Each structure stands twice: as structure tokens, then as C-alpha cells.
């Protein structure tokens, strides 16, 4: 056995006896598998992302004993047939893989023969059928799989099966070992190596870790060498896929943690071998710093900003932080582990196998964060749970949302102007048609088209006090931009952004902030400053024109209840955000004001959009934004004057104090 030494096994068994909740959970989670096993005899499993309600963009209820009917938990619609049937089988294939490892642990701890026989049945069942599965796929961005419709999912379950096999290998006959090694592992390795994409990507990390685990349990040095030392192998992914601040290049905390998850799943098997990455100082330091990023970016509620394709929180990270807290033994890893308990009770197998025997209470103060190199994220934390993020991140490839210089804002424990993230399943119609577009983010969009990849950098950051912070970033579209070494389908418009220069300046004053957005362009195409608000517009505006749709093109075709406002009628837009108000004071000169509604995420309700539109070549957008409870507003009035070189924002506060902020308008 590679996973644990004899001494470690004794410790795990003693720990389980002292804390029976560990084994109780393992039995509870896997009672279905111990009762009945579904193993596909043909390549019927497709893509887990198909198992989603296309209307509500939420995952369907998974019922192990109902393989032909699938219900939405929100609208209660019942779906049958494809693509949901293939999605159900994909969910079931994952359940088998995760269950096989968990039941192998259960056998290790309790010597339960039923658990052992279930693991054997699963491994031998897939070893029998896997070689005969047809290669199938046609999923965007993904090469085909055999067990699933994408090679990533094949790799993910092979990771689990290799770890399960390692725990029960000594109980198998020589013939059973050969059957599993040749039918499942070597067949799987051949498929993974054939369909691995030569690129930096979280998929390739997963594939390389699966190959590494297969190489370990099969004692195959050729497979191990491919997994670790191939041009796009695991070492290359770690050395080149993490940015200077050790954020994963795809720019999403979800995929950052997903990537680390696979690295650790290789480490769990390699930890006592010469192939361990953490035993090598270069990789140990990088992995530790990458893990630490969770502390700097996490919000107070334990979730992370929804940048790019991301719906991330500390939920689901307990496997890596149990190990990290015990291995690194520092306060930051222990702090992160404590955050996981907010979502997942500490009765799971990773606490049993790898976690510290006792938790230590750690109090660390999260502060503002700025990365001037690497992710180039700027985070400001304020009173009343205010959380502000400016995204100056580099282009992240497949999972990017084409939203340079976008902002997210939360207050009073609500994501009032926060990034919507992405659909729960990538097969949802709104994923590409709505969520993954520049025009559904809080930035400036030209002609309704997605931003082309471009270089973005932080110009200036000055923190004078908690309520006086200045942040300045810029994006310039030039033809010499170097794309990341990752396959990307073009979903943007290079022409409308060519030679455009955008600059965003933020003056943070805690209860309110000033947003100055400068656009220089060579054309008269529309330029929309967007702000989406999880709230209801309260103003009675003078409407010049009402339209059901903003336009027929994606994603504006999903906007509705569109009103074009006479720009001189309103100097303050107020939104009721359930417990507080968001007030927006815009600079209106030479702009059309548009209000609209669009889907939230999940798409079971609407959010509000405030759009300021100009078709001038050079545009100056200025907005003062305040979040405050009723009768606690500190802004009495805003006056904005613009000269040839400067924008001067005058703010009169309730204390009768007049404040003046001066910005270069160039």
C-alpha cells in the first residue's frame, strides 16, 4: 500500500474508534451502493453539466433509484430522455468512483467485508466494460472520453479508482489485479495520453494526476514520467499555470481550488514516494502560497468573489485544507481549515485520514488585498460587510468572462452589485448566451460585443486610511497581446476594441465610492457603462421610450422591461435592496440613460440594470455610489464638473461637510 504506512493505518483505526461519526458517515453516504450497483455496459454516460434545468439553470435532483425521470428543485418540472439520461449516468459514474474510495476507507478502518466486496464489484465491473466503451464526446473545449463524453471526467474517476485500488489491492487475487490493471487502468491511461490537450489547463492537471496515480499503483515508470515530465505534464502545469501571485491563470477561485484539489489527490498516493511534490522545496513553496490565496480573497461569509466561471466557497475544500493544516502546521492553513467547517461538519473521511487530531482556534484579520503582478485583483474591505473588488486580471482562457476592469460590490451581507458568476451547468442556454459576456458585467462594453483579450495593469494604489483609498487600473487593446498557452474558442470582437484605451479610477470612502471610467476610442460605436443591482429601482423616471428587449443580439436579447430615460430628469437613482438602499449619482452629460431587467443567477428572479450609453469617441463616465440603510445616508448632494483636463466631484455630506475629489479626465 502506498497511501499509508502501517503506523498511520493504526492511528486512523484508533481515531475512528474514538470518533464513530466518521464510519457512520461513510455508511450513510454509501448505503445505496452497498445495496445496488449501477455499472453502465455501454458508453451511455455523457456530461454531468447536462443534468440541469435549462430554464432555472440549477442542477436537477439526483435520485439514484430513478434513472429515467429527473426533477428540477425550483420549478418542479420533470425531464426525461436525453441529454438528461446521459447526465444521470454521468452523476452515477461519479457516485460509483467516490463511493469506491470511501468504501475502501471503510474497509481499511472496520474490515467490513460488504464494503470490500462492493469496491471489488465496482472495480472489476468497470474493468470488464471500460475497454468496450465507444469514444464519444462533442463537448465544447473538451476532447472525448470513453466512460463519459469528455476525457476530463474519465481522468477524475480514474483518480478515485486508483486510490481505492491501492487500499484493497492486498485482498485481490493475482488474476483480479491483472484484470483491473489492464482493463481499467492501462486502458484508461492509454486514452488519457491520447486525448490530453497540449495546453495549460485545469483539465490537464487532472489528467496528469490521474496518470500519475495509475503509474504509481501499476508501478509503471513510463506512465509516471509522462504524467510528471511531459511538456504539459504536472510539473509544467505548476511552473507555468500559476501566475506571479500564485493564482491559477484561469482567473477563477473555483478553478484555482479545483486545480489544487487534483494536485493533492496525486499527493495522497505519492506522499511516501520519491514522486511526492511536497517533498520538493520548489513545489512545496508554490503549493503553500497558492493555498494561502484563499485567506486573502475570501469574503466574510466564507465564499469567494464570482470572477470568471466560478461559484466558489470553502465548501468542498476540506480535503485539501485538512491535509495542508496538518502538513504545514501554520496559522493560515488552520484558519482556512476552520472556514471549511462553516459548510461541512468535520465528520468526513479527509478529517479522518489526513486532518489534525485537534483543531486550533485561529484569529487572523483579513485586510485589503492588491496584487500588482499576477492576478492583479484589488480588494477593499469596509464597514457593514462591504466588499469591493476591481478585476484587472489577465485574460484567463476558456473560463474568462471578457470583463476587464469590472467591479463587484457587496454590502450588509448582500451581493448587491456582485459578479453573477456562471450557470450551475455549462450546458444551460444562459451560460454562453448571457452569463459569460461583457455586457452582463459591471464594466464598459462597446457595441454590445465581448471584449477581446488585452493587457491590463494596475497604475496606482494608495491607502491613506480605511475610508480613503485610491485605485487606478488600465486596459489597452494592442495587436501584440500574447495569449496564454491554452486553447480558446474565439468569442469576442477584436475590431470594435482595437486601439481602445480604458481606464478606471476608484476613490473609496467606505460608505460610498466614486467611480471614474475613461474610454478613448477611434470610433463612434456605442459605449455602455453597466451596473447590475440586486434591487428594485424606486425612481419615477421620465421615460422617453419603452422596449421589451434592449436588442436582438446576445446577451442583450435577455434584457427586458427596457426604459430609455430623459437624462435631465433624474440625478440620483435609488434601488431598494431589501434592508438598505443603493444610491447612484451619475454624470449625465451627453449620455442616454437606460434601465432594464435581466436574469439573476440562478435565473429564478430578475436583477436591475442601470446603463449609461454614449456614442462619442472619447467618453467620461462618473458615478458616485452609496450603500446605506434608510435614514443613514451621509450624502446630501453631488455636483460634478468637468474641465478639459480634470473631473471634480463635489460631495455634500449630512455633517454639512463639503468634500472635493479631483481626477485627471485623461
**SS3 assignment, position 2:** coil
C-alpha cell, 242: 500559476
Question: Kind and range of the H or E element at 651?
Answer: strand 646-653
C-alpha distances in angstroms, 15 versus 20, 23, 102, 354? 9, 10, 16, 11
The verdict on 373 and 361 lying in the same domain is: no
Provide DSSP, 551-602. -SSTTGGG-EEEEEEPTTS-S-EEEE-SSSEEEEEE--TT-EEEEEEEE-SS
Q: Are 512 and 595 in contact (CB under 8 A)?
A: no
Cβ atoms of residues 369 and 464 within 8 Å: no
Range of the domain at 233: 1-241
DSSP 410: E
Identify the DSSP state of 49. Answer: G
Quote the CA–CA distance of 296 and 218 in Å, as a whole number.
40
Choose one of 241, 263, 298: the last residue of a domain. 241
> For residues 565 and 543, what is the distance between their CA atoms, to the nearest angstrom?
5
pLDDT beneath 70, residues of the chain: 567-570
The H-assigned helical ranges of 410-513 are 429-430, 494-497
C-alpha cell at 522: 477611434
Collapsing DSSP to helix, strand or coil, 172 comes out as coil
pLDDT (0 to 100) of residue 566: 75
C-alpha distances in Å from residue 356, one per residue of 69, 119, 323, 325, 549: 43, 27, 8, 7, 56
Residue 513 pairs in a beta bridge with: 508, 625
Note whether 330 and 470 are same-domain residues. no
Let me know whether 20 and 51 are in one domain.
Answer: yes
The answer to whether the beta carbons of residues 353 and 105 sit under 8 Å apart is yes
Looking at the structure, do residues 492 and 582 belong to the same domain, yes or no? yes
User: Do the Cβ atoms of 497 and 446 come closer than 8 Å?
Assistant: yes
Query: SS3 of 218, please?
Result: helix
Nearest to 181 by CA among 205, 213, 209: 213
Same domain, 488 and 379: yes
Q: CA dihedral in degrees (279, 281, 282, 286; nearest 10)?
A: 80
Q: Is 511 in the same domain as 465?
A: yes
Q: Quote the cell numbers at residue 480.
A: 501584440
Residues 356 and 375 in one domain: no
Q: What b/e sequence results for 230-239 when a residue is b if at least 16 CB atoms lie within 10 Å of its CB, and e otherwise?
A: bebbbbbbbe
The pLDDT value recorded for residue 533 is: 98
Q: Are residues 178 and 139 in the same domain?
A: yes
**620 and 518 Cβ atoms separated by less than 8 Å:** yes
Among 315, 339, 365, give the residue marking a domain's end.
Answer: 365
Contacts of 322 (CB under 8 A, 6+ apart): 337, 340, 350, 351, 353, 354, 355, 356
Q: What is the spatial distance between Cα 116 and Cα 130, in angstroms, rounded to a whole number?
A: 21
The number of folded domains in the chain is 3
CATH code: domain of residue 474: 2.70.98.70
Q: State the SS3 of 299-348.
A: CCCCECCCCCCCCCECCCCHHHHHHHHHHHCCHHHHHHHHHHCCCCCCCC
Cα within 13 Å of Cα(92), Cβ side:
26
CA angle at 357 for the pair 330 and 159, rounded to the nearest 5°: 80
Number of C-beta neighbours around residue 355 at 10 A: 23
Neighbours of 665 (CB within 10 A): 17
DSSP structural state of residue 134 = P
Q: Return the C-alpha torsion angle 107, 111, 112, 113, nearest 10.
A: 100
**With contact defined as beta carbons under 8 Å apart, do 544 and 564 qualify?**
yes
333 and 253 housed in the same domain: yes
- The residue length of the chain stands at 666
Q: Which residue has the cell 455610489?
A: 625
How far, in Å, CA of 133 to CA of 144, rounded?
A: 12
Enter the DSSP assignment of 449.
B
CA-CA distance, 614 to 621, in Å (whole number)?
9
- Which CATH number goes with the domain that contains 136? 1.50.10.100
CB atoms within 10 A of CB 128: 15
* DSSP secondary structure code for residue 171 in this structure: G
First to last CA, the chain: 65
Residue 567 and residue 591 in contact, taking contact as beta carbons nearer than 8 Å: yes
Instruction: For residues 180 and 104, give the distance between their C-alpha atoms in angstroms, rounded to a whole number.
Output: 15
- Pair (58, 203) in one structural domain: yes
Specify whether the CB–CB gap between 413 and 385 falls below 8 A. yes
Report the predicted TM-score, pTM, of the whole model to 2 decimal places. 0.96
| CA proximity to 151, closest of 164, 163, 139, 161 | 139
587 shares a domain with 470: yes
Taking Cα atoms as reference points, which of 559, 358, 229, 527 lies closest to residue 238?
Answer: 229
- Say which residue the cell 455634500 belongs to: 652
Domain boundary among 327, 343, 365: 365
Secondary structure (DSSP) of 74-91: TT--EE-STTHHHHHHHH
Angstrom distance (rounded) from CA 269 to CA 1: 9
> What pLDDT is attached to residue 26?
97
- Are 516 and 444 in the same domain? yes
Q: How far apart are CA 631 and CA 213, in angstroms?
A: 61
- Can the peptide bond before residue 555 be classed as cis, meaning omega within 30 degrees of 0? yes
CA proximity to 184, closest of 137, 208, 217: 217
Report whether 333 contacts 278 (CB < 8 A): no
Q: What are phi and psi of 650, to 5 degrees?
A: -100, 125
DSSP string, 97-114: HHHHHHHHHHHHHH--HH
Partners of 379 in beta bridges? 369, 389
Which DSSP symbol is given to 232? T
Contacts (Cβ under 8 Å, ≥6 apart) of 603: 55, 56, 57, 423, 430
Per-residue cell: 140: 465544447
Amino acid at each position: 500500500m502506498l497511501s499509508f504506512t502501517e503506523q498511520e493505518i493504526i492511528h486512523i483505526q484508533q481515531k475512528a474508534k474514538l470518533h464513530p461519526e466518521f464510519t457512520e458517515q461513510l455508511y450513510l453516504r454509501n448505503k445505496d451502493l452497498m445495496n445496488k450497483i449501477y455499472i453502465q455496459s455501454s458508453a451511455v454516460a455523457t456530461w454531468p453539466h447536462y443534468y440541469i434545468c435549462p430554464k432555472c439553470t440549477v442542477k436537477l435532483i439526483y435520485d439514484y433509484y430513478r434513472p429515467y425521470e429527473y426533477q428540477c428543485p425550483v420549478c418542479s418540472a420533470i425531464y426525461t430522455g436525453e441529454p438528461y439520461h446521459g447526465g444521470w449516468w454521468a452523476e452515477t459514474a461519479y457516485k460509483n468512483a467516490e463511493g469506491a474510495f470511501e468504501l475502501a476507507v471503510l474497509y481499511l478502518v472496520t474490515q467490513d467485508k460488504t464494503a470490500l466486496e462492493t469496491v471489488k464489484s465496482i472495480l472489476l465491473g468497470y474493468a470488464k466494460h471500460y475497454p468496450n466503451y465507444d469514444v464519444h464526446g462533442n463537448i465544447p473545449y473538451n476532447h472525448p472520453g470513453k466512460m463519459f463524453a469528455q476525457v476530463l471526467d474519465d481522468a477524475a474517476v480514474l483518480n478515485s479508482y486508483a486510490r481505492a485500488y491501492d487500499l484493497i489491492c492486498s485482498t485481490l487475487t493475482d488474476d483480479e489485479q491483472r484484470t483491473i490493471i489492464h482493463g481499467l487502468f492501462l486502458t484508461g491511461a492509454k486514452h488519457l495520453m491520447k486525448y490530453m490537450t497540449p495546453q495549460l489547463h485545469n483539465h490537464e492537471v487532472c489528467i496528469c494526476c490521474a496518470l500519475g496515480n495509475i503509474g504509481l499503483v501499476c508501478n509503471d515508470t513510463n506512465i509516471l514520467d509522462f504524467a510528471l515530465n511531459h511538456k504539459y505534464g504536472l510539473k509544467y502545469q505548476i511552473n507555468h499555470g500559476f501566475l506571479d501571485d500564485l493564482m491559477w491563470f484561469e482567473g477563477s477561485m473555483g478553478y484555482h481550488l479545483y486545480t489544487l484539489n487534483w494536485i493533492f489527490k496525486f499527493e495522497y498516493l505519492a506522499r511516501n514516494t520519491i514522486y511526492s511534490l511536497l517533498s520538493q522545496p520548489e513545489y512545496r513553496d508554490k503549493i503553500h502560497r497558492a493555498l494561502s490565496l484563499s485567506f486573502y480573497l475570501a469574503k466574510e461569509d466564507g465564499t469567494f468573489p464570482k470572477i470568471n466561471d466560478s461559484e466558489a466557497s470553502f465548501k468542498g475544500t476540506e480535503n485539501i485544507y485538512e491535509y495542508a493544516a496538518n502538513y504545514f502546521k501554520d496559522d493560515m492553513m488552520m484558519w482556512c481549515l476552520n472556514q471549511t467547517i462553516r459548510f461541512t461538519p468535520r465528520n468526513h473521511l479527509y478529517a479522518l485520514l489526513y486532518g489534525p487530531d485537534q483543531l486550533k482556534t485561529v484569529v487572523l484579520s483579513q485586510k485589503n488585498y492588491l496584487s500588482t503582478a499576477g492576478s492583479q485583483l484589488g480588494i477593499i474591505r469596509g464597514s457593514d460587510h462591504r466588499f469591493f473588488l476591481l478585476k484587472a486580471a489577465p485574460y484567463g482562457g476558456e473560463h474568462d468572462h471578457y470583463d476587464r476592469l469590472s467591479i463587484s460590490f457587496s454590502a450588509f451581507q448582500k451581493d448587491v452589485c456582485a459578479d453573477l458568476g456562471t450557470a450551475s451547468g455549462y450546458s444551460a442556454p444562459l451560460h454562453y448566451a448571457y452569463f459569460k459576456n461583457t455586457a452582463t458585467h459591471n464594466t464598459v462594453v462597446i457595441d454590445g460585443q465581448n471584449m477581446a483579450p488585452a493587457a491590463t495593469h494596475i497604475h496606482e494604489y494608495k491607502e491613506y486610511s480605511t475610508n480613503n483609498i485610491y485605485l487606478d487600473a488600465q486596459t489597452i487593446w494592442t495587436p501584440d497581446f500574447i495569449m496564454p498557452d491554452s486553447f480558446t474558442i474565439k468569442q469576442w470582437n477584436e475590431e470594435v476594441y482595437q486601439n481602445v484605451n480604458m481606464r478606471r479610477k476608484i476613490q473609496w470612502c467606505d460608505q460610498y465610492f466614486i467611480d471614474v471610467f475613461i474610454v478613448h476610442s477611434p470610433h463612434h460605436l456605442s459605449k455602455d457603462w453597466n451596473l447590475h443591482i440586486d434591487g428594485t429601482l424606486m425612481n419615477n423616471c421620465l421615460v422617453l421610450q419603452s422596449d421589451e428587449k434592449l436588442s436582438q443580439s446576445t446577451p442583450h436579447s435577455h434584457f427586458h422591461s427596457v426604459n430609455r430615460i430623459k437624462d435631465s430628469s433624474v440625478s440620483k437613482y435609488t434601488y431598494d435592496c431589501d434592508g438598505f438602499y443603493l444610491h447612484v449619482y451619475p454624470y449625465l452629460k451627453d449620455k442616454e440613460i437606460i434601465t432594464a431587467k435581466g436574469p439573476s443567477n440562478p435565473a429564478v428572479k430578475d436583477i436591475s440594470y442601470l446603463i449609461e450609453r454614449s456614442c462619442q469617441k472619447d467618453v467620461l463616465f462618473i458615478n458616485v455610489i452609496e450603500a446605506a440603510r434608510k435614514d443613514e445616508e451621509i450624502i446630501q448632494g453631488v455636483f460634478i464638473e468637468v474641465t478639459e483636463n480634470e473631473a471634480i466631484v463635489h460631495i455634500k455630506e449630512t455633517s454639512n461637510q463639503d468634500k472635493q475629489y479631483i481626477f485627471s479626465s485623461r
